[in-house]
Amino acid sequence: MTLDLSKVKRQLQDHLQEGLLLVVGTGLSIAEGIPGMWPLAEHLKQVIPNKIVASPDPAWADVVAALDSGDHLEAAMGKTTLNALTVDAIVAATAMFIAYKERQVFGRVLSGKRQLPFTAFVKHLFKAGKRFHLITPNYDRLVELATEAAEIGVDSRFSGYLYGFADPKRAADAHRESYVSGRNTLLRSLPCLSVYKPHGSLDWFDVGGKVIRSPMETDRVPVIITPGASKYRESFRWAFDDQRTSGNRCVANATRLMFIGYGFNDDHLEQLCPGLKVTKPLS
């Protein structure tokens, strides 16, 4: 059977319309050098023992044994209960490891040496509409960087730049402009990608029990959900639930789906969007 390339292009173009929901997995980031689960697991095996010397955790040995037997990181950590100090160490080590690699990508882009492929995709996508939605479990900010490099706005549901606070309405309003029609002043949308991160982000921080978003590099540990970090899910349930609820609303309203960097057996898919398999045919 011969592939009709022109037909494929037409079908793809028809798919890229408003109502499209993007679901971006770790594959997009891995392609740019951000470590996936296996490199992260090897890194944690090296650094965690030294971080829990003062408070040994026998459960960590169980995690290592499961990893060595072939389990992936999430499965290995799901088989035991780690103590709070070990979880803290895992979250901090994960954030530092990914942030270090992320800075390298940012450096190449900001120096003009690299354009992320997602930037070219976004430029093409926004020829078909002004607002699209994206859900990702990725902690890094490559999606946001690539989108802004295409001169398209990003709605993170936080308002503000250096000390962004959770305010979905004000965040959305920042991507609208007023115009005059007859005697009326109306609002219209500016091109914008709404990004939902139900597992947190490298630029989320706990300030007095509230999650704020800031691009500043600090010595604070970001608010992210790593495998085994259920306490973070509980402590900041409102922040994660808002992202997940909003993402699931997008799933319900989507007329078409596109998966980027995802395998259909990816465990994160069911965690991120339980409505996908219930309400949307994946064939």
Higher pLDDT, 45 or 198: 45
Question: Distances in Å between the alpha carbon of 134 and those of 52, 87, 95, 247?
Answer: 37, 28, 22, 8
pLDDT of residue 266: 54
Q: Is pLDDT at 282 greater than 50 in this prediction?
A: no
User: For the segment 123-134, what is each residue's pLDDT rounded down to a tens digit?
Assistant: 999 998 899 999
User: For the segment 179-191, what is each residue's pLDDT rounded down to a tens digit?
Assistant: 888 888 888 899 9
Residue 178: what are its φ and ψ, rounded to 5°?
-90, 150
| Beta pairing partners, 200 | 224
| pLDDT above 70: percentage of residues in the chain | 87
All residues at 6 or more sequence positions from 7 whose CB lies less than 8 Å from its CB, including other chains? none
Cα 168–chain centre separation: 17
Structure tokens at 277: 């398999």
